[in-house]
């Protein structure tokens, strides 16, 4: 630690926010860090958050490659990287190539990178690792399980990063990198990752749409959606426990057909919502009878 304070002393008067940022960000990076330099391909939602998280931990993003110049240059500036909008113009001096482009473009862009042995990963939850085969002899997946949007702040340290690789030494390198930015790095194969991604639709996307239905119906009756927020928070907190269903409440799990019929009647003018209510209620009843 005294070495650290000597460095701080040395930069003395010259010290400014940038120097301190560099020193503090590098404290998080172990001496034996295997992946130090990365190229990020893509400049969308995930590429932006991931490049920034790595940069903050002292990983060198040496280059951003992106099809469109504006987004690519903006990200490159934020992580002090070079930029190229020719996807065949990768800097071959990196330890890792992170392909964070749309799922449908992964295979084609990977091939066009013209890598040989360099470690190449994609970041998708639903695309198999095999989609990269042929693009390099060292492959993997680096999938952060969260929903990312460029303009929403994110704390990467709480996001599980799911790792897969074609060789154990690549697994180790990727796990080490993932642990630098997240408290939770796990090995997950392509099949498991696809299931995980599908269940994220239930747990995340569908739950969110349930809030939308509630908001829409309340608005139609002039009731503020905010009144439901404590209930929503309490419900989300049940996911902290295992066996979530044991904490299921509501008319379906109680078998209260009178209330369910009343609700269905109220929803008669909202055909799609009525179908969703009916389907989920029946599913809860079936699930309960299987578990009893």
Ligand X SMILES: NC(=O)c1ccc[n+]([C@@H]2O[C@H](COP(=O)([O-])OP(=O)(O)OC[C@H]3O[C@@H](n4cnc5c(N)ncnc54)[C@H](OP(=O)(O)O)[C@@H]3O)[C@@H](O)[C@H]2O)c1
Question: Under the criterion CB under 6 A, does residue 140 sit at the interface with ligand X?
Answer: no
Specify the residue, 71 or 79, whose C-beta has the smaller distance to ligand X. 71
The vertex-267 CA angle with 261 and 270, nearest 5°, equals 150
Give the helix/strand (H/E) hosting 286: helix 271-291
Alpha helices in 182-255 (DSSP H): 190-200, 207-220, 229-237, 251-254
Specify the residue, 40 or 284, whose C-beta has the smaller distance to ligand X. 40
Specify the residue, 71 or 260, whose C-beta has the smaller distance to ligand X. 71
The binding track of 196-235 with respect to ligand X, each residue x by CB under 6 A or -, is: ----------------------------------------
Q: Candidates 35, 39, 40, 47: give the one binding ligand X (CB under 6 A).
A: 47
The vertex-162 CA angle with 36 and 29, nearest 5°, equals 25
- Report CA Rg, the chain: 24
Which positions from 68 through 87 interact with ligand X, judged by CB under 6 A? 68, 71
Specify the residue, 87 or 180, whose C-beta has the smaller distance to ligand X. 87
Least distance CB 211 / ligand X (angstroms): 18
Question: Under the criterion CB under 6 A, does residue 58 sit at the interface with ligand X?
Answer: no
Beta strands 82-84 and 37-41, pairing class: unpaired
Specify the residue, 105 or 213, whose C-beta has the smaller distance to ligand X. 105
Least distance CB 75 / ligand X (angstroms): 9
Dist. CA 113–CA 97, nearest whole Å: 9
The binding track of 88-127 with respect to ligand X, each residue x by CB under 6 A or -, is: ------------xxxx-x---x------------xxxx--
Question: Under the criterion CB under 6 A, does residue 147 sit at the interface with ligand X?
Answer: yes
Specify the residue, 47 or 284, whose C-beta has the smaller distance to ligand X. 47
Q: Which of 243, 147, 240, 161 has its CA nearest to residue 200?
A: 147
CA distances from 140 to 64, 163, 202, 292 (A): 19, 7, 26, 42
Q: 11 in helix, strand or coil?
A: helix
Binding site for ligand X (CB under 6 A): 42-47, 66-68, 71, 100-103, 105, 109, 122-125, 143-144, 147-148
């Amino acid at each position: 630690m005294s070495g650290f304070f000597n460095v701080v002393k040395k930069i003395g008067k010259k010290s400014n926010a940038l120097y301190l940022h560099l020193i503090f960000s590098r404290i998080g990076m172990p001496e034996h860090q295997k992946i130090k330099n990365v190229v990020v391909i893509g400049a969308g939602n995930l590429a932006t958050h991931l490049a920034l998280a790595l940069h903050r931990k002292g990983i060198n993003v040496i280059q951003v490659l992106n099809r469109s110049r504006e987004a690519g240059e903006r990200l490159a500036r934020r992580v002090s990287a070079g930029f190229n909008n020719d996807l065949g113009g990768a800097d071959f001096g990196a330890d890792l190539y992170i392909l964070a482009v749309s799922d449908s473009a992964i295979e084609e862009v990977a091939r066009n990178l013209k890598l040989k042995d360099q470690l190449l990963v994609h970041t998708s939850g639903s695309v198999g690792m095999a989609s990269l085969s042929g693009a390099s002899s060292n492959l993997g997946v680096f999938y952060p399980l969260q929903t990312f949007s460029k303009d929403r702040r994110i704390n990467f340290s709480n996001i599980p990063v799911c790792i897969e690789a074609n060789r154990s030494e690549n697994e180790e390198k990727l796990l080490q990198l993932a642990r630098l930015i997240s408290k939770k790095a796990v090995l997950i194969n392509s099949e498991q990752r696809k299931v995980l991604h599908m269940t994220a639709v239930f747990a995340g996307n569908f739950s969110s749409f349930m809030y939308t239905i509630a908001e829409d119906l309340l608005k139609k009756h002039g009731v503020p959606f905010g009144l439901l927020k404590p209930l929503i928070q309490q419900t989300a907190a049940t996911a902290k426990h295992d066996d979530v269903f044991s904490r299921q409440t509501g008319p379906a799990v109680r078998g209260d057909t009178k209330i369910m019929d009343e609700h269905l009647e109220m929803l008669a003018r909202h055909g799609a919502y009525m179908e969703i209510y009916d389907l989920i209620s029946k599913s809860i009843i079936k699930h309960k009878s299987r578990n009893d």
